[in-house]
Amino acid sequence: MNQVRTCFQSGQIGPQEIRYPEAAWEYDYGALHPRVACSNLKCTLCGEAVEAVHLHESHGFAGTPEGLWTQVMAGDLSSLTPSMAARVYLCRCFFKTAHYTEGMTPSDVDPERYEPIPWRCQGHPVLSLPMTLDGV
């Protein structure tokens, strides 16, 4: 059971329309539409697990990433703005509101405008059988 699979393009982040799976083994293998959000992202810079705050955006937040992260980790979402569609992702050193779906290591970027994201999929356990699946 040490086998893991990593998401297409090192993981996808996105707004509410891309599903954020509950099960650890669900991952994005690259041929899905809409994509599946990665539920196991980790920051390569600060080493923290990336948190996803659903139905919120960070529009207008002027503080530091660490300040926001500390608040959110304490359950305080008062610096975020409720949103019908967006999802905020954050670690200790970086935050981003996802308004559209994007991979962590996309292949087709404009290097002039591309802002790299320091998060990478840490892998998902391979679903092993036999096990009980819902409704089966």
Residue 40 or 83 with smaller CB distance to Zn ion? 40
Of residues 23 through 42, those in contact with Zn ion by CB under 5 A are 27, 38, 40
Tokens of 49: 């697990």
- When binding is defined by CB under 5 A, the residue of 11, 14, 15, 103 that contacts Zn ion is 11
46 binds Zn ion (CB under 5 A): yes
7 binds Zn ion (CB under 5 A): yes
Among positive and negative, which fits the CA dihedral 108, 113, 116, 121? negative
> How many residues in the chain?
136
45 binds Zn ion (CB under 5 A): yes
Question: Quick one: which segment of 5-13, 29-37, 80-88, 101-109 binds Zn ion (CB under 5 A)?
Answer: 5-13
Burial 103-119 (b: 16+ CB within 10 A, else e): bbeeeeeeeeeeeebeb
4 binds Zn ion (CB under 5 A): no
* Tokens 């659903």 -> residue: 54
> Do 80 and 57 contact (CB within 8 A), yes or no?
yes
- Which residues are at the interface with Zn ion (CB under 5 A)? 7, 11, 27, 38, 40, 43, 45-46, 91, 93-94, 121
